[in-house]
Structure 1
Amino acid sequence: MVTREFIPVDLDRISDITYTCSVFRARRRGYFGGVISFSGDYRPGSSGSGDAAFIKWKIDEFLDIDDPGTVYGLVVDLRGLRYEWGEDLGIAASRLRRGQLPLLTVVDPQARAALAHCIADEEMREDFDAAVDEVAQALARLK
């Protein structure tokens, strides 16, 4: 009989980044939009791979909920995330991308250049309220 050592892994400890989530109606009886905000220190280089995985997981988890309603547009708020450089950071949100649904990322103006290699310029915004309004307007046009 082979003896194996099992090393525990705590997926809740993969990153020290924190997050909050909320939803909003795009219009009366309309589609739900979502906001997910991340804050904390994104570790530099390959050290940040756990942070990138955590961000991706939380976005996917948020998009999988349907209470109070399915999220059809998303604002990812990275203004509270301290990011210098790193690998793997990206806003996948594949369900939204497949459906060509609205997806915007709000960044701090000082972090925009650093994030330009991993977030498309046409998806980046610096004004949170304007980004939420833009997503709400796009959702209001959905049939």
Structure 2
Amino acid sequence: MRIAWLIAVLGIVAVPAAPALAQSSGDETELAKKTQNPVADLISVPFQSNFNFGVGSKDATVYVLNVEPVIPLHLNADWNLITRTIVPIINQPSLFPGPDSISGSAFGLGDINPSLFLSQVMGPWSDGTPETAQVRLRRPSWLDFPVEGVR
């Protein structure tokens, strides 16, 4: 059942990422530049697969699949809002001996981590700020100041 659910989730995520038949290929050099720019005007859905070995007293293997869609939204002619959300899908087997109600396996979504970036459409520099409005509502981080990026 878990495998079927994982395949269904991957299928739902992968279908919108496939290019439409009516889309033109465009300039390959420009596309290559956009794929290397984390704040480019390009939708991407990268996956990160992690195996954590030797966890718990049973030396179990925990599997985490991070789905990380990056979606640029056009606010107006001069500004883009780029969303990058990390959605972990976790499969954790039983980590130690005991009753299944305490030590049983678990499968599902982990903590979802959204990030927002404000980017200028034109120009060699991109600006970004942390997305939390209240300092008291976010964890301490070195990212307390605006961020600059080169296109």
Indicate the structure with greater strand content: 2
For normalisation by structure 2, the TM-score amounts to 0.27
For normalisation by structure 1, the TM-score amounts to 0.28
Indicate the structure with greater helix content: 1
